[in-house]
């Protein structure tokens, strides 16, 4: 079923295209009427700003004389991009979230998968309760979650730290070596339930007959899970991975909030934080170039991963 769905969409899309080519008449107008509510905001709030950011990234600031002078912008070619690539802080922020992603994404998705598989077994009681509980953190806005966790991490006021101390442990969640993983924990807490739900929905759409057939062949629950369920929901796992890669590259809220209580998170900790810091210093053109580079890296990584895995999975 899951296998058929994408093909079906493709067929619809292509016939739609042919019809549009023939064009004209009331039909085209109807289509236009239906599409305008989408395209108008899409152009206004998506294409125009992106185009504007790209344009800004090609500008440089010049100034006419005097102590404070008068500034103006002019075309500077790739000057801003050269600066981005020469910026050590940019590369360290990329390296940092690279490390973050390589560890956090697999851990989170593995936990999500296990949870989804557990929810899908007949063994588990109170399913809807567990589903809601696991999904609940997603309902908490990222900033609030980060504030909540920063309270739990804070050595002066945290009941968690006090509890660990009473059993002889002295964790420093905000220390130079730990703070990245403390941020990763917030992300994992926030998104595991969400990813689980996507995988769980995919599991739900697997026809029961498949399981019956497998059982008749003598397959155990374990075999059914790993040999049947996981391969079938591979597209959802890939999808959640792509979302997670994108999310990692755009990491902002969690470290930005933790920064308020830990001096081990710099103002340029993640690429997005760097872009923000640069923009707040009135260097909009440089911030635009950084944003464009982040967007390109995100695009290349997520689509690269999709191509790689869809080929392997034979999709």
Partner 1 sequence: MSNTVTRIRLAVVAAAAGVAVLAGCSSPAPSSDASAASCEPAKGKVTLQYWNTVPGMDKVVALWNKKNPDIQVQMKNISNDQYGTIGNALKAGKAPELAQVGYDELPFLRTQNAFVDASACSAATAAKSKFVPWTWSQSSFGGTGVFAFPQDTGPMALYVRSDIFKQHGLAIPKTWDEYAADAQKLHKADSGLSITFFDPNNAEAFNGLLWQNNAEMYKYSGDKWHVSVASDQSKQVADYWQKLIDAKLVRTDLAHGSTQMYTAYQKNQIASYVGAAWGYSMFRDNLPDQAGKWSIVPMPTWGSSASSGDWGGSTVAFMKGNKHLYESVKFNSWLNTDPEALALENKLGGLYPAATAGSKLPALSQGVPYYNNEKIFDVFADSSKNIDTDFSWGPTQKTVNLSLQDAMAKATAGSGTLSDALSAAQATALKSMKDQAIPATAGK
Which three-class secondary structure state does DSSP give residue 70?
A: strand
Applying CB under 8 A, among 9, 14, 30, 267 the residue interacting with partner 1 is: 267
Residues between 78 and 107 with contacts to partner 1, criterion CB under 8 A: 83, 104
Least CB distance to partner 1 at residue 74 (A): 6
Applying CB under 8 A, among 16, 27, 36, 46 the residue interacting with partner 1 is: 46
The residue among 22, 79, 23 whose CA lies nearest residue 56 is: 79
Are the CB atoms for 182 and 151 separated by under 8 Å?
A: no
Applying CB under 8 A, among 24, 33, 64, 216 the residue interacting with partner 1 is: 64
Q: Which is nearer to partner 1, 94 or 277 (by Cβ)? A: 277
Q: Which is nearer to partner 1, 21 or 156 (by Cβ)? A: 156
Applying CB under 8 A, among 156, 170, 208, 209 the residue interacting with partner 1 is: 156
Going from the C-alpha of 32 to that of each of 15, 118, 205, 246, the distances in angstroms are 17, 46, 34, 32
The single residue listed with the structure tokens 């209580």 is 261
- Tally of CB atoms within 10 A around 128: 8
115 scored as a contact of partner 1 (CB under 8 A): no
How many whole angstroms separate alpha carbon 151 and alpha carbon 211?
46
Q: Which is nearer to partner 1, 233 or 272 (by Cβ)? A: 272
52 scored as a contact of partner 1 (CB under 8 A): yes
141 scored as a contact of partner 1 (CB under 8 A): no
59 scored as a contact of partner 1 (CB under 8 A): yes
Instruction: Give residues with Cβ within 8 angstroms of 50, minimum separation 6.
Output: 295
The single residue listed with the structure tokens 């997520």 is 302
Q: Which is nearer to partner 1, 224 or 253 (by Cβ)? A: 253
Residues between 227 and 246 with contacts to partner 1, criterion CB under 8 A: 243-244, 246
Least CB distance to partner 1 at residue 122 (A): 29
The residue among 236, 245, 240, 243 whose CA lies nearest residue 102 is: 245
Compute the Cα dihedral for 287, 288, 290, 291 and give only its sign: positive
194 scored as a contact of partner 1 (CB under 8 A): yes
48 scored as a contact of partner 1 (CB under 8 A): yes
5 scored as a contact of partner 1 (CB under 8 A): no
251 scored as a contact of partner 1 (CB under 8 A): yes
277 scored as a contact of partner 1 (CB under 8 A): yes
Least CB distance to partner 1 at residue 314 (A): 24
Which three-class secondary structure state does DSSP give residue 66?
A: coil
How many whole angstroms separate alpha carbon 83 and alpha carbon 76?
12
Residue 75, strand partner residues:
59
Applying CB under 8 A, among 29, 63, 165, 312 the residue interacting with partner 1 is: 63
Long-range contact pairs involving 90-95 (C-beta distance under 8 Å, separation at least 24): 90/268, 90/271, 90/274, 90/290, 90/293, 92/268, 93/268, 93/269, 93/270, 93/271, 93/273, 93/274, 94/271, 94/297
Which region among 24-32, 124-132, 160-168, 294-302 touches partner 1 (by CB under 8 A)?
294-302
Applying CB under 8 A, the residues found at the interface with partner 1 are: 45-46, 48-50, 52-53, 56, 59-65, 67-74, 83, 104, 108, 138, 154-157, 174-176, 187, 190-191, 194, 243-244, 246-248, 250-251, 259-261, 263-264, 266-268, 272, 275, 277-284, 286-288, 291, 294-295, 298
């Amino acid at each position: 079923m899951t296998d058929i769905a994408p093909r079906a969409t493709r067929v619809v899309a292509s016939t739609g295209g042919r019809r549009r080519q023939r064009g004209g008449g009331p039909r085209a107008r109807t289509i236009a009427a239906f599409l305008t509510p989408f395209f108008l905001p899409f152009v206004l709030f998506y294409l125009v700003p992106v185009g504007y950011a790209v344009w800004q990234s090609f500008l440089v600031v010049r100034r006419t004389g005097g102590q404070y002078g008068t500034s103006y912008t002019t075309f500077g070619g790739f000057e801003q991009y050269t600066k981005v690539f020469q910026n050590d802080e940019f590369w360290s922020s990329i390296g940092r979230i690279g490390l973050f992603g390589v560890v956090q994404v697999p851990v989170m998705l593995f936990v999500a998968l296990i949870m989804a598989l557990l929810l899908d077994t007949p063994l588990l009681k109170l399913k809807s309760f567990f589903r809601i509980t696991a999904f609940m953190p997603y309902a908490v806005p990222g900033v609030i979650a980060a504030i909540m966790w920063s309270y739990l991490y804070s050595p002066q006021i945290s009941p968690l730290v006090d509890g660990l101390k009473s059993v002889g442990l002295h964790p420093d969640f905000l220390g130079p070596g730990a703070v990245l993983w403390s941020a990763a924990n917030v992300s994992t807490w926030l998104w595991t339930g969400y990813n689980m739900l996507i995988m769980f929905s995919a599991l739900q759409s697997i026809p029961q007959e498949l399981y019956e057939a497998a059982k008749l062949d003598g397959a155990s629950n374990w075999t059914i899970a790993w040999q049947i369920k996981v391969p079938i929901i591979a597209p959802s796992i890939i999808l959640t991975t792509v979302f997670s890669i994108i999310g990692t590259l755009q990491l902002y809220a969690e470290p930005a909030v933790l920064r308020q209580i830990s001096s081990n998170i710099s103002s340029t900790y993640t690429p997005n934080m760097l872009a923000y810091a640069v923009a707040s210093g009135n260097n909009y053109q440089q911030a635009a170039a950084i944003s464009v580079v982040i967007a390109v890296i995100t695009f290349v990584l997520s689509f690269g991963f999709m191509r790689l895995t869809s080929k392997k999975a034979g999709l």
